[in-house]
Amino acid sequence: MHQNPHTKNHTPVLLKELLELTNPQKGERYLDVTAGYGGHAAAVLAKNQNYRQSVLVDRDGEAIVALNERFRGNGIKLMHQDFLSASDELLKARRKFDLIVADLGVSSPHLNEVSRGFSFTKAAPLDMRMDQRQPTTAWDIVNSSSEADLAEILRRYGEEPRYRQIAGLIVRNRPVNSTQELSELARKAWPGHSRKQPATRTFQAIRIAVNDELSQLSEALPIWLKLLAPGGRIAVISFHSLEDRIVKRFFASESGDRLDAALILLTKHPVAPGPHEIANNPRARSAKLRVVVKQK
């Protein structure tokens, strides 16, 4: 199939800031739990030059193909699975890392490839799976959940004020087959169809539910702490407040003035991209970077 080469581009977000704050050293062991198209990974690996003890994880098969092409032959371990199960496996194998990076959410190819169903601006089947081997799609959630469950997904994962109305419209108009139909229902829920981008929160909510994104993050964070060697750093880039809240709370709970605190915050406040980066890469708009270091 013809593939537009531009759909495969992903510009790493907050790269300079991430390198400055984490300061990778030669020989350090690197774990990238959302390696994507390898933008952050290539920059870190150029510094630590330790392919053999580094690991790249992604649950998306297309990202794994791209990572394999980019890093083939240098002995790095690739794991095609979700980061919670991958982190668990690495812990069981007693692996340790000096730098762990999580750059959460979807990649530009996810948004640009219409058929993946992540974008509400173009018509596509309701899919939204990051891992295409996973059985549950957005279609299943939209068409099989009870009205109460749908409303709860929209309220909790989308922080969508009109969650009740949208859930009701979805249930009355089933089957909802395309991203366009779903986005049209979200629009109808607003009086006078007044909201500027009425489907943003609905799509965020369904995507989080399909990929179980928040449990992945909250359950993986304590494992990353266990995988970290003394002096090791964890850097997390999040893209919405629900993710950032989980990261902020976990880092706060493991740091502070207590003698037994495991972590020191390297970012008291999250680092955001400057206007130049946002102008060049609008996807960076909502990014927030938090970095911690494990006490020696």
Ligand X SMILES: C[S@@+](CC[C@H](N)C(=O)[O-])C[C@H]1O[C@@H](n2cnc3c(N)ncnc32)[C@H](O)[C@@H]1O
Nearer residue to ligand X within complex by CB, 37 or 163: 37
Cβ distance to ligand X smaller for residue 165 or 204: 204
Residue 56 as a binder of ligand X (CB under 6 A): the answer is no
- Residue 187 has φ and ψ, to the nearest 5°, of -65, -40
Residue 103 touches ligand X, criterion: CB under 6 A: yes
- Give the three-state DSSP class for 122: coil
60 lines the binding site for ligand X (CB under 6 A): yes
Q: At its nearest, how many Å lie between ligand X and the CB of residue 211?
A: 6
Q: Is 107 in the site for ligand X (CB under 6 A)?
A: yes
278 CB neighbour count, 10 Å cutoff: 16
**Across the chain, where does the E strand assignment appear?**
30-32, 55-58, 77-80, 97-103, 228-238, 263-265, 288-294
- Does position 160 interact with ligand X (CB under 6 A)? The reply is no
Residue 63 makes contact with ligand X by CB under 6 A: yes
Q: In this chain, which stretch among 52-60, 153-161, 240-248, 284-292 interacts with ligand X, using CB under 6 A? A: 52-60
| DSSP H or E segment with residue 213 | helix 213-227
Choose the stretch contacting ligand X; rule: CB under 6 A; options: 38-46, 195-203, 253-261, 284-292.
38-46
Q: Which is nearer to ligand X, 24 or 198 (CB)?
A: 24
Tell whether residue 17 is a contact of ligand X (CB under 6 A): no
155-162 — which CB contacts under 8 Å span 24+ positions?
Answer: 156/205, 157/204, 157/205, 157/206, 157/208, 157/209, 157/214, 157/242, 158/201, 158/202, 158/203, 158/204, 158/205, 158/206, 158/208, 159/201, 159/241, 159/242, 160/201, 160/202, 160/205, 162/189, 162/190
Among 17, 28, 58, 244, binds ligand X (CB under 6 A): 58
* Closest CB 33 distance from ligand X, rounded Å: 6
Chain residues binding ligand X by CB under 6 A are 10, 12, 34, 36-40, 57-60, 63, 82-83, 103, 105, 107, 130, 216
